[in-house]
Amino acid sequence: MANHDFNRPCDCRDCREWPKHIECPICKEIHVVVIDRSAVWTTDKHGFTGVDFNDPVGPDKPISCECGHSIEGVGYYSRYDKEATINTRAYQAERAAASKCAVCDSLEGIDRVKGFFEMTKLTMKDGVQLCQKCLSDRVQLETPDPSDEKNKYIFNRKLLSWELDKVKDPCIRCGKSRWLKANNRWKSLCTTCFKTGT
């Protein structure tokens, strides 16, 4: 395992190499070049060691794009990363082809939905595709909260429905009403009566 796996300064190849994405101004395709920086170990005044990276210096290296255009102004780089170029383009194509949520632009099967810890899945609602979160927001907004002075409901964002959360039941001994979690309804005595017993 490299130092960076423990969040420590590191001068391994993964840390030194810095990928740079260059877009061809003509055909808009992406090229990935790698800048292999030199690592210099440092010690600060508190005695902590770190790594400084210096960019390599060299002449401008144009990229000849497959569309025939020669991309100038790229600067110096260590090498052209063919594999990363292919992967980046494939990823972009996948994103471009994916369906997205009409509200938050989350991509189906690619992005994760905020607060749901799962991949975006789209559902058609009133003619638009919505991710789990935006669907839930909308259904909650459209469904009236059935809560009243004796029942409190909370919206279940996964099941898309209001669920009974708390109920206000009277204690069978003193008659005083108190809020109970819905699944604690069996508790017939209030805390005070329960503690005093009899």
Binding positions for Zn ion, rule: CB under 5 A: 2, 4, 10, 12, 14-15, 24, 26-27, 65, 67, 69, 101, 103-104, 106, 131, 134, 171, 173-174, 190, 193
Are residues 18 and 37 in contact, defined by beta-carbon separation less than 8 angstroms?
yes
Q: For the CB of residue 9, give the shortest distance to Zn ion in the complex, in Å.
A: 8
Name the residue type at position 114: K
What are the CB-based long-range contacts (under 8 Å, 24+) for 149-152?
A: 152/179
Q: For the CB of residue 65, give the shortest distance to Zn ion in the complex, in Å.
A: 3
Angle, vertex CA 53, rays to CA 48 and CA 57, nearest 5? 155
Residue with Cβ nearer Zn ion (58 or 109):
109
Q: For the CB of residue 101, give the shortest distance to Zn ion in the complex, in Å.
A: 3
Residue with Cβ nearer Zn ion (61 or 69):
69
Residue with Cβ nearer Zn ion (45 or 175):
175
Q: For the CB of residue 56, give the shortest distance to Zn ion in the complex, in Å.
A: 18
Quick one: CA dihedral 125, 129, 130, 131, positive or negative? positive
Q: How far is CA 160 from CA 53, 65, 99, 100, 141, in A?
A: 51, 50, 22, 21, 11
Residue with Cβ nearer Zn ion (33 or 65):
65
Instruction: Name which of 18, 28, 115, 16 is nearest 71 in CA terms.
Output: 28
Residue with Cβ nearer Zn ion (3 or 156):
3
Q: For the CB of residue 146, give the shortest distance to Zn ion in the complex, in Å.
A: 26
Sequence-ordered list of residues with C-beta below 8 angstroms from that of 191, at least 6 positions apart, any chain: 178
C-alpha–C-alpha distance, residues 178 and 68, integer Å: 78
